[in-house]
């Protein structure tokens, strides 16, 4: 229970269905950092809200301290990905490693059989006595569907997961909360990463790197022909497809096409240079039999992406090759690519490398001249 309306209504729905429900809130910040988390999910106010809801519903409530593993498995991952020139997705990692990972041991100690959350998704379990795969599906409300963030859950994790909100819309959930008299009925949804105050990534990463004895990685801006266009203060400030914060030129808009952490180069190009013909993924999770022969599926390359058709072929060592039927814009290393058959999640993985329509930026960098001037810092 995060203290929001979704997990609160999820708890009530389960109780109405006859389940014995236990409310659990994870405390994700050390005590000396709790003021920073005041307005965040699982911060002090969120814990108080969750406790109040549990009291209203008549269920026990526990607070579990997960600050140390959260820092190691989610926050360090977040910082490391930016240092590597990739764009992280901490919500996927938190679901896999904490909510349906570490939390299971605590749930078992409390006598629980399943872990339920307020995610907008659904999971179908095989009937008793049938050995089959649990099926992960999209939530009914397309505006709120969160199945993308759950793709990496393994079979054993999905088999003990419940998502009571999968068949409801956000408006219906708020109506239920109002009828129950829950104080969180009209509480605003969190629209940002829970551990980054005010969406200030630069300040957060600066503090994190200082704690680890690290600094930003400055370098230079280059175009696809190898021309030096200016300098920047750190590759960590950029992501594929970004337009803001780039050197101007008075001509066509420029976008970040690629980031090379090794040299500190940020490669810029036009919008057409963002179009991706194919890409590879690693650390792939399949729900069902991996497609060793090319299979046409719907692929989402970011949470806000509605999805496009692509041919996907599973490779060796948990990799896969993805060829969109029409070139995709701004396919970003570090983000998740999730595959769907209708509303069913059939697998996904982490974008590792890609080939853009105009030129492969990695190949272009190999021919670039040595970085000159301040860009070599």
Q: How far apart are CA 153 and CA 287, in angstroms?
A: 9
Q: Residue 38: its pLDDT value, please?
A: 53
Known catalytic membership, residue 94: yes
First to last CA, the chain: 46
**252 in Cβ contact with 314 (< 8 Å):** no
% of the chain residues with pLDDT over 90: 78
Q: Choose the catalytic residue: 41, 42, 91, 194.
A: 194
| pLDDT above 60 for 145 | yes
Question: Is 236 strand, coil or helix?
Answer: helix
Q: Residue 132: its pLDDT value, please?
A: 80
Q: For residues 215-252, b (16+ Cβ closer than 10 Å) or e, as one string?
A: ebbbbbbbbbeeebbebbebbbbbbbbbeeebeeeeee
Enter the pTM of the model.
Answer: 0.90
Q: Residue 200: its pLDDT value, please?
A: 86
CB contact set of 202 (below 8 Å; sequence gap of 6+): 236, 237
Q: How many helices (H) and strands (E) does the chain have?
A: 10, 17
More confident: 190 or 321: 321
pLDDT band at 370 (very low <50, low <70, confident <90, very high): very low
User: 189-200, pLDDT tens digit by residue?
Assistant: 876 678 887 778
pLDDT band at 201 (very low <50, low <70, confident <90, very high): confident
Report CA torsion sign: 233, 239, 241, 244: negative
% of the chain residues with pLDDT over 70: 89
Q: How far apart are CA 303 and CA 163, in angstroms?
A: 18
Q: Which domains, ranges and CATH numbers included, belong to the chain?
A: 5-198 (3.40.50.620), 218-377 (2.40.30.10)
Known catalytic membership, residue 91: no
Q: Choose the catalytic residue: 41, 42, 91, 94.
A: 94
Question: Is 112 strand, coil or helix?
Answer: coil
What does the pLDDT average to over 310-317?
A: 96
Structure tokens that stand for 214 in this block: 């690290």
């Amino acid at each position: 229970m995060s203290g929001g309306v979704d997990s609160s209504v999820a708890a009530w729905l389960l109780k109405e269905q006859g389940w014995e429900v236990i409310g659990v809130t994870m405390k994700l910040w050390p005590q000396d950092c709790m003021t920073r988390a005041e307005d965040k999910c699982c911060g002090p106010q969120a814990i108080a809200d969750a406790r109040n809801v549990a009291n209203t519903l008549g269920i026990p409530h526990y607070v579990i301290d997960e600050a140390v593993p959260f820092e190691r498995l989610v926050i360090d991952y977040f910082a490391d990905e930016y240092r590597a020139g990739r764009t992280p997705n901490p919500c996927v990692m938190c679901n896999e490693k904490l909510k349906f990972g570490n939390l299971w041991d605590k749930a078992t100690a409390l006598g629980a059989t399943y872990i339920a959350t307020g995610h907008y998704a659904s999971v179908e379990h095989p009937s008793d006595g049938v050995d089959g795969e649990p099926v992960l599906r999209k939530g009914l409300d397309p505006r709120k569907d969160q199945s993308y963030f759950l793709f990496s859950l393994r079979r054993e994790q999905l088999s003990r997961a419940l998502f009571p909100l999968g068949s409801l819309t956000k408006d219906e959930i708020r109506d239920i909360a109002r009828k129950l008299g829950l104080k969180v009925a009209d509480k605003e949804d969190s629209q940002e990463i829970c551990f980054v105050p005010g969406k200030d990534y630069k300040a957060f990463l600066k503090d994190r790197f200082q704690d680890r004895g690290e600094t930003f990685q400055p370098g230079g801006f280059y175009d696809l022909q190898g021309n030096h266009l200016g300098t920047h203060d750190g590759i960590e400030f950029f992501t594929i497809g970004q337009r803001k914060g780039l050197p101007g030129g008075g001509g066509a808009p420029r976008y970040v096409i690629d980031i090379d952490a090794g040299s500190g180069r940020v490669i810029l190009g036009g919008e057409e240079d963002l179009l991706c013909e194919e890409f590879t993924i690693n650390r792939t999770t399949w729900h069902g039999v991996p497609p060793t022969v090319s299979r046409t599926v719907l692929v989402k390359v970011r949470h806000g992406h509605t999805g496009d058709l692509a041919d996907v072929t599973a490779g060796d060592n948990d990799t896969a090759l993805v060829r969109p039927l029409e070139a995709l814009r701004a396919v970003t290393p570090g983000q998740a690519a999730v595959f769907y058959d209708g509303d069913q999640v059939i697998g996904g993985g982490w974008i590792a490398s890609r080939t853009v329509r105009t030129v492969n930026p990695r190949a272009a960098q190999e021919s670039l001249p040595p970085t000159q001037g301040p860009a070599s810092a």
